[in-house]
Amino acid sequence: MMSGEILKENHQNVENHPDKKDKLLVIGIGASAGGLEALQQFFHHMPGNSGLCFVVIQHLSPDYKSLMADILGKHTEMTVLQAEDGMEIFPDTVYLIPPKHNLLLKGSHLILEEQIPGRLNHPIDVFFNSLAREGREKAIAVVMSGTGSDGTSGIKAIKENGGLVIVQDPETAKFDGMPRSAMNTGLADFVLSPEEIVEEILNFSNNPSIIKLHEKEVLFSDEETFSHIYSLLKKASGIDFTNYKRTTVLRRIERRMVVTHSASLNEYVNLLMNDKEESNTLSKEILIGVTSFFRDADYFEKLKNEIIYTIVRRTAPNGSIRVWSAGCSTGEEAYSIAILFSEVMNEMNTHRDVKIFATDVDTRAIEQAGKGIFTESIVDDVSAERLARYFTKKNEQYMISKDIRRMIIFAPHNMLSDPPFGKLDLICCRNVMIYFQPVLQRTLFAIFHSALKKEGYLFLGKSETAGEYSNVFLPVCGAEKIYIHKGEGRVDEFTPPAFNIPNIHTVTHRATGIGERDSGDYTIESTYVQFLEKFLPASVILNEANNVVHFFGNYQDYMNIAPGKATFNFFAMIHQDLSLVASTALNRCRSEHEAVTYTGIAVDLKDGRRIVDLTVAPVPGRGKEESGLTAILFFEHHEGDSEEGITEKYDVDITAARRIADLEQELHESQNDLKATIGELETVNEELQAANEELLTANEELQSSNEELQSVNEELYTVNTEYQQKLDELTMLTNDLSNFLSSTMIGILFVDSNLNIRKFTEYVGREFQLMDHDVGRSVQIFAHSFPSEDIVSDAQQVLKNLVPIDREVTSMNGRCYTLRIAPYRTTENSIRGLVITIIDSLGAKK
């Protein structure tokens, strides 16, 4: 039966059973390198009358005519067709993607789109996305053997719409790149071998709850059972799902019942009670942690141009920008915002301290987000320029740059029960509230109201709105769901939520090291220090940064702790009358490496004027080496022998002039060093910039070439596998033909149009005296056993007239044969030589 007739029969079956089309389940199967073997196993075990529709998406070479339809047709009773544009889908049919096209599902028809040459293409993701839109909770996506990450982005859309995701077990796949990439998302419902995948698809399609959900019947109405489920989930995850949308929770429970083969709700509740992992899985299913970079790209572009530029402009250079990405899942949204802020600051040639608080209740998602590592599937969402600038590719993964990662603080956080962040410039909470009942939505808006600055911004998902609270949140970009916060606005419906404030426990730090010391030695050392501090003159020890590291004596007369932020900087504490002389002496001491003393310094203290001497001396280290410390001592002025080192009478004019000269010299040297450094940095910067541009260009070219080569490699592997299948079939056919020719009692001689021998059987070889090495020689040079027959002339006549010759002939040994000379026709009905047949008449009669 021809494929057109089969489709007609399928169409008639659907017309006779109108409900069958409504329940038609479409299974999208993505496979690449090594996928042919898995597909053969899959369809070999799939019944031909399952009532399901299968669409197979492979990576195909654009210049190759696929043999997949012929190959798979031998492993299934279903009709196998190459998809055509606008083709209607029917049950018990397998549709294959044609070369050079992407395939989409629209309603009950397949739509073809031409691929863009030279651009990395992910046909599996394209089809899965369309399948998710059309099939929703009835969509089934299967990812099989292949390299790369095609299919990973698509299964996120399938899962978000409530569909089923099945991945081939990497242990059974020839190439595990695609299966492992899909598994790493954590969204796979099953990881199975091709044979086991068949069982689960049939179980899913035969589950009656699928039909009930489609008809929007109320599946469960036992509130006590639901309360029990909520309590089990809260115990396992710490999240109260009571006020989550009931329809969402119902769908997730129903899907887990199908996956776990639970026959009833009570059976599934018992499973939740006994299996904590299932409780965690259901919690994760309800949360639906599906996200992507720059989701709704035009929305993020609007956010950048209209909002982020405004936030950066209005923030002072030394100010900070605070952003909250609420419900960030695995972090793509937070990284997207950070990239936008980085781009804006680079374009404005400015810098701001940007802090993005990225939170989610799913601790595993937060741990993954903090790593900043993503699969190759992000190339569908991130431009090549951003990939080259903000990511580093390692093996088959992309790692976010450190500059972007530093802008983000990831933390587990329940926005409904944990205290929120405050003084925020922007809150990004997208596709979170769609899963909440109105009471939780009001609570969340109240939290945003208290957390945002006046004229802060709120960025919601495209299916969410703050229209009910226009007194507080005024739309700025209505289509893109961006709102500005009116701090003075009031809404009576807002009730401040009660937050869980964790108890603060006093932490006793256990001292380490001291207890290991000998307590006697420690006591003696302490006594020595107390004695020195009591009897030494007023003095301090400075380090190289001019910070005081130790005080001795009655230093309070000359130094005071300045009000404000605590600091031990010497010049922030020294008496103003001593500041100039101390600075000069300290500079001379460090430059000349000897003690410097200034005498007769008048200081106005609280108890009156006092004349003091000030000595600055280096503190020796071990041996003759300097320790880097400097001692400053304050003495009551007295006449007597001069101290060691340099001693001078203090004169404010001379000291000030000297200090000014020192500072000018330091300034001049610093300016020269700065100019030289700036010149070197400019040169290096220009070189680095040029090198960076070359590297970016080279990286983009290499990345593009690598992706193209990978795609070509997958296509070639698929082509090679199909050719290998055909070669095996041809080898078997050749063996069959060889055995047939060698075992038959009929003499057959194949010659080409020039009467050169192509093949012959052993039986005819005896009558023409042929050997194996005679293949390729002209039959005209060989003698035969029929002297009265001109076989060569007869052969030439048949080639000319294309009319077969049949007659009885007698050999030299007297045996009678039936001789037949007929044209050799190909399947295209072209003449490629002759077939000369000799049949033993006596043997035939017997």
Active-site amino acid positions: 32, 59, 150
* CB crowding 496-522: b at 16 or more within 10 Å, else e: ebeeeeeeeeeeeeeeeeeeeeeeeee
Distance, CA of 95 to CA of 58 (rounded, Å): 11
Q: Give how far Cα 72 sits from Cα of 46, 599, 654, 722, Å.
A: 12, 104, 102, 10
Alpha helix segments (H runs only) across 744-822: 762-768, 791-801
Tokens of 92: 């018990």
Q: Tell me which DSSP letter residue 50 carries.
A: S
Q: Which amino acid belongs to residue 37? A: E
Residue bearing tokens 């982005």: 153
Name residues whose C-beta falls within 8 Å of residue 488's C-beta, 6 or more positions apart in sequence: 454
Q: What is the Cα–Cα distance from 192 to 810, expressed in whole angstroms?
A: 68
Question: Residue 409 to residues 324, 340, 355, 519: CA-CA distances in angstroms?
Answer: 10, 16, 7, 44
**Which long-range CB contacts under 8 A does 804-812 form with residues at least 24 apart?**
808/841, 809/838, 810/786, 811/767, 811/785, 811/786, 812/785, 812/786, 812/787
182 sits in which H/E element: helix 177-183
How far apart, in whole angstroms, are the C-alpha atoms of residue 167 and residue 204? 15
Say whether 655 sits in a helix, a strand or coil. Answer: helix
* Residues 368 and 344: beta-carbon distance below 8 Å: no
Q: In 393-489, which ranges are continuous DSSP H helix?
A: 402-406, 438-451
Distance separating alpha carbons of residues 97 and 126, to the nearest angstrom: 12
220 is written with which tokens?
């469960």
SS3 for 103?
A: strand
